[in-house]
Amino acid sequence: MKSYRSIYAALFGLALLLLTVSPFSLLAQDSPVEVKFYYPTAVGGPLTQIFDSYVEQFNKANPDIKVIATYAGGYDDISAAVQTEIQGQGEGPDVAVMLAADLPTFIDNGYIVPLQKFIDADPDGKAYSEDFFPAFMGNSVDADGQIWAVPFQRSTPILYYNKAAFAEVGLDPNTAPKTQQDLVDYAKKLTKPNGERWGIEIPSDGFPYWLFQGFAISNGQNVVGDNFNDVYFNSPEVVKGLQFFSDLSQKEKVMPSGVIVWGDTPKDFTSGKAAMIYHTTGSLTNILKNATFDVGVGFLPEGDKSYGAPTGGGNLYMFSTSSEEKQAAAWKWIQFLSSPEIQSNWGAATGYIAARKSAWDLDPLKQLTVDKPQYAIARDQLEYAQRELSTHQALDVRQILGKAIVRVISGEQGAQESLDQAQKEAETILSQYK
């Protein structure tokens, strides 16, 4: 792969054109406006170097602004850090990449400002907002459709499979399992005794609700409604999805029992310990780099109704504790990061899905999808994707569903009983917002 610096240099001219236009003028000053930017990571790869290069490029093109980027840990770490700073010091970062699903909590706490006003002030704002994939905007707007955040580090889970292992057991290495029954049938052929190789691994630690959402959506019912206070944890479609998830280990014996660690799953796949895995598309670049075999990528298999997957990842947020001057500078930084040119580069460098449709018509992403078609799978799956679980008191509600899932896959409770309990607990929290 070309060096990151050579790619950024090629993009510099295009991005510079974008940066010369802003709906807000910065005040004249002797020193540049400093913009504090926090970012997380949930996957492997050289993300720090990528962000450092973006910052260098932006600051050179905008001498009146100085972006200071800080890696602040994982999504939970950065959320905790931001809230601690705002509550303790009265100010935090000016811009941060934080979980898209935490949008309602940030709104409720007054931490962020809506980006709609910046978009509306831009003559090209309507075209800008409509260029984002609709599936990603589901976690960027409130119930009234007002845009509060911009998609950036976005993803969906996808199915990875070992083409060599497929050929070894007589499966077509160019065809991913289409249905959930196919998944079971393929996994049985691929599983070797004594844990030498598992047919499938689906992580269930950290945020088990996310990968599970795909089972519910494909059965015809997402776990969350259109508002921030409606959940459907114990609907028949969701219960059936959790039963299938649990059966992969407890009944079919094609997946390890108990909780499977998120960070270990890609390593199990590239080492040959697992023939298929569910994981974020944000792991694609790292998996392709480390695998010693041809890697196949497919949609999450169909359930009763269709394909289905949740969106995930992070949005760009602007914070209410920033001055108007800093917000104007921060908006230019957000425009830069969300530009088609940078999104094309970001998608190619990381495997995250470029959030703007026009980014896929630009190199390096355009050429990359020709050379490595795996990069287009998650984009195409967006047709069937729905928004990630996102409610008031988002962390608490996600943990309720996550614990219910773990109880079932660990054999502590049945799917119906566990999800009935989760629904009741979630409704107790959300009832105060109705």
pLDDT tens digits, residue range 300-319?
A: 999 999 999 999 999 999 99
Q: How many angstroms separate the CA atoms of 390 and 403, rounded?
A: 16
Higher pLDDT, residue 279 or 206: 279
Tell me if 238 sits within 8 A of 216, measured CB to CB. yes
Query: What is the amino acid identity at position 158?
Result: I
CATH of span 4-155+312-377: 3.40.190.10
> Range with the lowest mean pLDDT among 69-78, 131-140, 351-360?
69-78
Positive or negative torsion for Cα 142, 145, 150, 155: positive
SS3 427: helix
pLDDT at residue 254 greater than cutoff 90: yes
- DSSP for 295-311, please give it: EEEEPPPB-SSS--EE-
Tell me if 390 sits within 8 A of 311, measured CB to CB. no
The DSSP symbol for 316 reads E
pLDDT at residue 207 greater than cutoff 70: yes
Question: Strand 157-162 and strand 276-280: pairing?
Answer: antiparallel
Q: How many angstroms separate the CA atoms of 317 and 103, rounded?
A: 9
In percent, the amount of the chain with pLDDT more than 70 equals: 92
> Range with the lowest mean pLDDT among 66-80, 116-130, 132-146, 236-250?
66-80
> Range with the lowest mean pLDDT among 25-39, 51-65, 169-183, 313-327?
25-39
Q: Does 4-155+312-377 match 157-310+392-433 in CATH topology?
A: yes
Q: 273-293 pLDDT, tens per residue?
A: 999 999 999 899 889 999 999
* Residue 7 pLDDT: 43
- DSSP for 66-78, please give it: EEEEEE--SHHHH
Q: What is the dihedral of CA 424, 426, 429, 430, to 10 degrees?
A: -110
Which class would CATH give 157-310+392-433?
alpha beta
Q: Where are the alpha helices (DSSP H) in 159-308?
A: 163-168, 180-190, 208-218, 236-250, 265-270, 284-290
Question: How many other C-beta atoms can be found within 10 angstroms of the C-beta atom of residue 21?
Answer: 11
Stretch 364-379: mean pLDDT: 96
* Residue 59 pLDDT: 97
- Residues with Cβ < 8 Å from 11, sequence gap 6 or more? 57, 341, 342, 344, 345
Stretch 135-143: mean pLDDT: 95
pLDDT at residue 140 greater than cutoff 90: yes
Tell me if 341 sits within 8 A of 14, measured CB to CB. yes
Stretch 35-45: mean pLDDT: 78
Taking alpha carbons only, the member of 192, 434, 410, 402 closest to residue 421 is: 402
Taking alpha carbons only, the member of 145, 130, 74, 43 closest to residue 355 is: 130
CA distances from 34 to 17, 241, 355 (A): 22, 48, 26
pLDDT at residue 25 greater than cutoff 90: no
Positive or negative torsion for Cα 135, 141, 142, 143: negative
Higher pLDDT, residue 369 or 79: 369
The DSSP symbol for 297 reads E
- Structural domain boundaries of the chain? 4-155+312-377, 157-310+392-433
* Residue 18 pLDDT: 44
